[in-house]
Chain A
Amino acid sequence: GAGVSQSPSNKVTEKGKDVELRCDPISGHTALYWYRQSLGQGLEFLIYFQGNSAPDKSGLPSDRFSAERTGGSVSTLTIQRTQQEDSAVYLCASSPGQSSGNTIYFGEGSWLTVV
């Protein structure tokens, strides 16, 4: 069965360039999350989408970060003018939605290196 799919799996970019990271959630899952995992920083919540509701962007670290979710399915996380401190693993996750007891399933991550 298909899990959460993320692409690219690895990305090396030059400082100042823009990057797009894609997430394809599990079919039928209405909730979608982005997390960032940095060395020594643990897992940091970035943004949350639930169905057609306005996203919760409270975890985005700066205005260089944005995300959208088209048609309630695929999501793209965009980082503009990348900085070296943006180097991290970006994890996408999805969940069936409205119950706190639902499990959140993670993808394999997109490993971003800014040089």
Chain B
Amino acid sequence: AQSVAQPEDQVNVAEGNPLTVKCTYSVSGNPYLFWYVQYPNRGLQFLLKYITGDNLVKGSYGFEAEFNKSQTSFHLKKPSALVSDSALYFCAVRDGLHGSGNTGKLIFGQGTTLQVKP
């Protein structure tokens, strides 16, 4: 079964410092990995995804993520954090669309709260 783990409930960084939000995954077959961000009282916004190709994926708002197959990780990174980056971040793996019972649904981690302090 596909699964995603976000080992940190909360990450605290100072504004201007680099940030990393960790994610590890377990899949059968090729992984399709996603990051979403949720601001308070809002829905989920897509940040970036890894499908194939370059291991470093660039996304919205200056975020990037590095796919590491040997470590089964897909950590979210940003070189210089902003206070406005403070939000809840979700890593997800997409279930395959083929085969019995597969819906292509996203399977989410528990989320990591990022707090960026001035």
Q: Which residue of A lies closest to B96 (CB)?
A: A100
Chain B at the A interface: SS class: loop
A62 within 8 A of B: no
Q: Is the CB of A101 within 8 A of B51?
A: yes
Mark out the residues of chain A between 64 and 106 whose CB falls within 8 Å of any chain B CB in the assembled complex: 91, 93, 95, 98-106
What is the size, in residues, of chain B's interface with A at 8 Å between Cβ atoms?
27
Separation of A72 and B32 alpha carbons in the complex (Å): 26
Which residues of chain B have C-beta atoms less than 8 A from A56's C-beta? 101, 103, 105
Number of residues in A with C-beta < 8 Å to the partner? 28
Give B contacts to A, CB under 8 Å. 32, 34, 36, 41-46, 49, 51-52, 90, 94-97, 101, 103-111
In order of increasing CB-CB distance, the 4 nearest A-B pairs are A101-B51, A106-B44, A48-B103, A108-B43
25 A-B contacts (beta carbon < 8 Å): A33-B103, A33-B105, A42-B108, A42-B111, A43-B90, A43-B106, A43-B111, A45-B103, A45-B107, A48-B105, A50-B104, A56-B105, A91-B43, A100-B94, A100-B96, A101-B32, A101-B49, A101-B51, A102-B104, A103-B49, A104-B94, A105-B46, A106-B36, A106-B43, A107-B43
